Structure 1
Amino acid sequence: MKANLKKLTSTLVLVLFVSLATYAQRIAIVDVNKILESIEEYQNAQTQLDNLAAQWRQEIAQEYDVIKGMYNKYQAEQVLLSDEARRQREEQIMDKEKEVRELQKDRFGPDGELFKRRQGLVRPIQDRVYAAIESYAQERGYDFIFDKSSASGMIFSNSEYDKTTDILNKLK
């Protein structure tokens, strides 16, 4: 009786482990940043965006220099100006500051020109990479693929599961 109970228990445990193994989820890890940086089109887009941002930063800095010059001139002439002329100059300086802040917001803000250009240049490349990852996952039967380059909270990953090279090869 005890022998049959042991056999039954052993069989149930074995069946349980086999059934759990068949329901195991397949997981892989990729480094999306590494993939993007290996694509020449992405590198060119990044260079173009960096150059544009540098040009715009320089233009804004020049405008702030103009404001500083206006303020310095106002400071030097302030004692000679009437109250009305002082208020006018102060308004001019404040209007110029407001104009430059608006320019800065229009260029670099969350819905600014740089963001829109980035979306236009980089988004199609990112979409291609994500489509390749999705296709790879479906072909190989992966349930989850994590991006180890993002702040996803992953603390440890086994390099055995890193499929970045496979995705790079798929894009070529």
Structure 2
Amino acid sequence: MLKCLKIVFFLMMTASVVQAQKIGFVDSEYILNKHPDYKVVQEELKKQASAWKKEAQNLENEIKEMYNALKAEEVLLTEDMYKERMEDIRQQEKAASNYNTRVFGINGEYYQKQDELMKPLQSKIFDAIDKVSKRNGIAIMFDKAADLSMIYTDPVHDYSDFVIDELGIDENTETEENK
């Protein structure tokens, strides 16, 4: 009997502690789209990606030109010369593939550049979320934009606008998304 009372008491205490904790969420995608630095980061990344894509296209064009030249001269080449040219083309294809992997592959230069550009902005947003959470006594803060599945969210628990205020962003600023 005493053991049952202890368990009931423990459950009651646990329930009251859980009820006392505030939970909230933010939408980091919404916050990012409101932040003026995000557009600058996106433009810089787009510019760099465009240069990398142009270089990749140049490599592909060189390979096409090599194939066209080989096709045009095929009847004039000896078997050894043909094999040598094909080997050159294969080497160029391998170099193009390596370039694409190095730049656009997993952990490639594109993703490293994206990380480099986004880290300072993400840090600012995280610091603002931290301040808003502490100021409002939030014990647990979720990110609606993350992979975490949030089936329903009551807007009363959305602290995204508080974070935007903490960052000093004018909420009336028009973004690409709102145009």
Q: TM-score, normalised by structure 2?
A: 0.80
Q: How many residue pairs are counted as aligned between the two chains?
A: 158
Partner AA of 2:105 in structure 1: G
Scaled by the length of structure 1, the TM-score of the pair is 0.83
Where do 1:102-117 residues align within 5 Å? Answer: 102-117=98-113
User: 1:7 — aligned with what?
Assistant: none
Tell me the residue number matched to 1:128: 124
What is the aligned partner in structure 1 of residue 36 from structure 2?
Answer: 40
Instruction: State how 1:12-161 maps to structure 2 within 5 Å.
Output: 16=12, 20-24=15-19, 25-161=21-157
Structure 2: gaps (5+ residues): 1-7, 169-179
Q: Distance in 1 between matches of 2:50 and 2:158?
A: 36
Task: For 1:142, give the aligned amino acid.
Answer: I
Q: SS of 2:57's equivalent? A: helix
Distance 2:14 2:56 in 1: 65
Residue identity over aligned pairs, in percent, reads 28
- AA aligned to 1:152 is L
Give the whole-Å Cα distance in 1 for the aligned partners of 2:121 and 2:134: 20
Residues in 2 aligned to 1:94 and 1:109: alpha-carbon distance in whole angstroms: 20
Q: Distance in 1 between matches of 2:126 and 2:77?
A: 64
Q: Please give the alpha-carbon distance, in whole angstroms, between the structure 1 residues aligned to 2:18 and 2:149.
A: 25
User: Aligned with 1:29: secondary structure?
Assistant: strand
Q: Distance in 1 between matches of 2:115 and 2:163?
A: 22
Matched letter for residue 33 of structure 2: E
Distance 1:22 1:91 in 2: 71
Distance of 2:154 and 2:135 partners within structure 1: 21
The separation in 1 between residues aligned to 2:136 and 2:90, in whole angstroms, is 62
Q: Supply the distance in 2 between the matched residues of 1:108 and 1:131 (Cα, whole angstroms).
A: 30
Larger Rg: 1
User: Residue by residue, what CA displacement relative to the aligned partner does 1:44-77 show, whole Å, maximum 9, x if unpaired?
Assistant: 0111101111221122112201101111221232
Letter in structure 2 aligned against 1:135: K
For the residue of structure 1 that corresponds to 2:24, the secondary structure is strand
How far 1:38 sits from its partner (Å)? 1.4
